[in-house]
Amino acid sequence: MSTLIQSYEQQYSVLTADITSKIGRLKSSNEDDREQLSRQIQANFEEANDLLEQLELEYRGSGSGSRVAAYRAELQRVREEYRSVASNNATYNIDPDEYEDWSMVNEQRQRLLDNTETLERTGKTLTEGYRVVLETEQIGAAVLNDLSSQRETIQRSRGRLRETDEQLNRSSRLMNNMVMRALQERFILGAVALALAVLTAVAVYFYVT
């Protein structure tokens, strides 16, 4: 889905750059060309709106931060520039060969170039931001994998500790049994020794008497 978002953003950047270029051509075109350019520009605006709607849907589906609002603001600025150019008919009806004040034309062309450069910088900034987002996602995925691996290690360690504890309990019970048996054997040996001593004393007594 991230690849689709990137594709829509690239299409939008190319489309807005095309619209800006056509607006620049609209300023020095004749009446017939101006009508054709106007229709093309309006169709491009509709296509750009459709792209932004698709892009907004993809952003919602991905759950990531959306840049559609910034794109819409930029598109609205370009649309206002087109309306300003389209409404200034008197300027565009003048033959460029007979135009005496070229300073205004140069100023408009310079503004168009500035707008194009701004769009290019914006596109580069968006691309860089997208790259940072991808790197952040990759780092987050790596961290999650590490945490998952550490969790499995901790779980295995807990299992080994439980097994060791059970073995220690069995060893403790075995040692207790061995101690009890040793005490029993000592008691039996003591009883036997006592009985032998009693028997010996009785035998000596009868022998003497």
**What is the pLDDT, as a whole number, of residue 101?**
45
Q: What percent of the chain has pLDDT over 90?
A: 2
User: For residue 26, what are the contacts with CB-CB under 8 A and spacing of at least 6?
Assistant: 34, 37, 38, 41, 82, 85, 86, 92
pLDDT of residue 12: 85
For residues 85 and 89, what is the distance between their CA atoms, to the nearest angstrom? 8
- List b or e across 31-44, with b for residues whose CB sees 16 or more CB atoms inside 10 angstroms: eeebeebbeebeeb
| pLDDT, the chain, mean | 80
**Whether pLDDT at 207 is above 60:** yes
Q: Are 45 and 53 in contact (CB under 8 A)?
A: no
Nearest one of 26, 23, 152, 21 to 80, comparing CA atoms = 23
Is the model more confident about 97 or about 184? 184
Instruction: Using the CB atoms, write b or e for 181-200: b if 16+ within 10 Å.
Output: eeeeeeeeeeeeeeeeeeee
Task: Indicate if the pLDDT at residue 119 is higher than 50.
Answer: yes
> pLDDT at residue 164 above 70?
yes
Rounded to two decimals, what is the model's pTM?
0.42
Residue 77: pLDDT above 70?
A: yes
pLDDT at 95: 44
Burial 72-87 (b: 16+ CB within 10 A, else e): eebbeebbebbeebbe
Q: Are 44 and 79 in contact (CB under 8 A)?
A: no
Report, as an integer, the average pLDDT of 22-32.
Answer: 82
Which carries the bigger pLDDT value, residue 6 or residue 105? 6
Q: What is the rounded average pLDDT of the residues 54-80?
A: 83
Question: What's the rounded mean pLDDT across residues 13-26?
Answer: 87
pLDDT at 130 over 80: no
What's phi and psi for 100, nearest 5 deg? Answer: -90, -35
pLDDT at 186 over 70: yes
End-to-end, the C-alpha distance of the chain in Å comes to 116
Model confidence at 104: pLDDT above 60: no
Distances in Å between the Cα of 141 and the Cα atoms of 66, 134, 155 are: 21, 10, 21
Structure-token match 């206002």, residue found: 80
Is the pLDDT assigned to residue 202 strictly greater than 80? yes
Pairwise pLDDT comparison (148 vs 45), residue with the higher score: 45
